[in-house]
Amino acid sequence: LLTFLSSPVIVVHCSAWAIPDDMAKASVDGVKSTATAGFLAMKRGGSALDAVELSVRALEDNPTFDADHGAVLNTNGEVELDSIIMDGRTLAAGAVSSVKTISNPVSLARAVMEKTDHIMLTDRGANMFAESVGIPAVPTNTLVTECERTEREKAKNYAVEVKEGHDTVGAVAVDCSGNVACATSTGGIRNKMVGSGGYADNLSWAVSCTCHGESILKVTLARLFHVEQGKRAPEAVEVSLRYMGDRVRGGGAILVSRTGEWAAKFTTERMAWAAVEREVLWYGLNPKEEFKETLRQ
């Protein structure tokens, strides 16, 4: 299946939820710069897989987003991270769940994909594997912001979790060879199962989803797009999100096809997203927004 595209395409998001105004600018700036970096990497000959890993690493390192350096604490006061990466060419995938003290779980997920016969490692086993491939552990306090510690102190008084865990980050890309890839990473509620938080298949799309993880899992959101193969990208996302809204609740998703079509849609209040195609940078935050600017290199 060989397609040659005139331009690679990348779309990134940092979670679909009611992003507060004081975080809005940082969120939008973050996704814009990340999308730009991922696009340039592909222009220089990098693969879609490299681009999505690089983008999600950048988003993980950005403390505005929950995914890693702004991660939500669990009830034990620890940081637990999930991540998935998938290669649309071979359907190879790597995922980690509940890893602690790792700076960039998406890279660990890629190592699972490329260095083991497995797809997913969890908990202690995932951390042991990280050690075995030389990925360093970092102390928890570098992964937790002051803001999160305060929030957690407040929430401690409640028996049930009050914080839903926001700020999943993700990226999808198609490179000049027509290969698609996706990657998603979060410190929030788990949704990193294959087919839910992300899925990539050269025959259809690469998708990365966000919002309430449990709802995404119930409808295996990323995999829904398989059915929508005949549709244009924006319609496919809308139909799938509407289905999810009907059966559970709202969410957000980005997708890209091997022919370079892309979409970023959400049925939550906001989702910060950015896309680059043919030297044009698109981005938005509120529903229906689609701003564009020429790419600054």
Partner 1 sequence: MRSMMYTSGHRLVVMSYSAGFCSCPALTQQWFQAGFLVVTTSSPKNVLNIRHWVNQDTSISILIFKLCGHPMSPCVTQTSLNLFRIRSLNRFTCLTISLSRASLADMLPVLVVHGGAGFIPKERVQMSCAGVQAAVRGGYSKLQGQGSAMDAVVEAVTLLENDHHYNAGLGSVLNAKGEVEMDAIVMDGRYLASGAVSAVRKVANPVQLARLVMDKTSHLCLTGEGASQFARSMGVPEVPEESLITEYARMRWKKNLAADANPVECQMGKMGTVGAVAVDAEGNIACATSTGGMLNKMEGRVGDTACIGCGGYADNRVGAVSPTGEGEAIMKVTLARLILFHMEQGRSVEAAADEALAYMKDRVGGLGGVVVVDPQGEWSVRFSSLQMAWAAAQQQTLHYGLYTGEHFTQNIDDPY
Residues making contact with partner 1 (CB under 8 A): 74, 80, 90-93, 95, 97-98, 116-126, 128-129, 160-161, 189-190, 193-196, 199, 213-214, 217-220, 223, 226-227, 247-248
Give me the least distance between CB of 220 and partner 1, in Å please: 4
Contact 293, 281 (CB under 8 A): yes
Contact 272, 13 (CB under 8 A): yes
Question: Which residue, 43 or 190, has its beta carbon nearer to partner 1?
Answer: 190
Question: Which residue, 51 or 96, has its beta carbon nearer to partner 1?
Answer: 96
Give me the least distance between CB of 201 and partner 1, in Å please: 9
Spatial separation of the C-alpha atoms in residues 194 and 170, rounded to whole Å? 14
- DSSP annotation of 94 reads E
CA end-to-end distance (rounded Å), the chain? 32
Please give the angle made by the CA atoms of 8, 231 and 282, to the nearest 5 degrees: 40
Whose CA is closest to 83, among 135, 46, 141, 47?
135
In 144-251, which residue ranges form alpha helices assigned H by DSSP?
146-155, 213-218, 221-224, 233-247
Give me the least distance between CB of 219 and partner 1, in Å please: 7
The H or E element containing residue 215 is helix 213-218
Half-sphere exposure of 145 (CA within 13 A, CB side): 17
Give me the least distance between CB of 277 and partner 1, in Å please: 28
Question: Of 34, 64, 168, 267, which residue is the catalytic one?
Answer: 168
Question: Which residue, 242 or 278, has its beta carbon nearer to partner 1?
Answer: 242
Give me the least distance between CB of 110 and partner 1, in Å please: 16
Question: Which residue, 80 or 175, has its beta carbon nearer to partner 1?
Answer: 80
**Which amino acid is present at 288?**
K
Based on the residue annotation, tell me whether 268 is a catalytic residue of this protein: no
Question: Which residue, 43 or 218, has its beta carbon nearer to partner 1?
Answer: 218
Spatial separation of the C-alpha atoms in residues 114 and 105, rounded to whole Å? 14
For residue 293, count CB atoms less than 10 angstroms from its CB and return exposed for 0-12, middle for 13-18, buried for 19 or more. exposed
The catalytic site residues sit at: 168
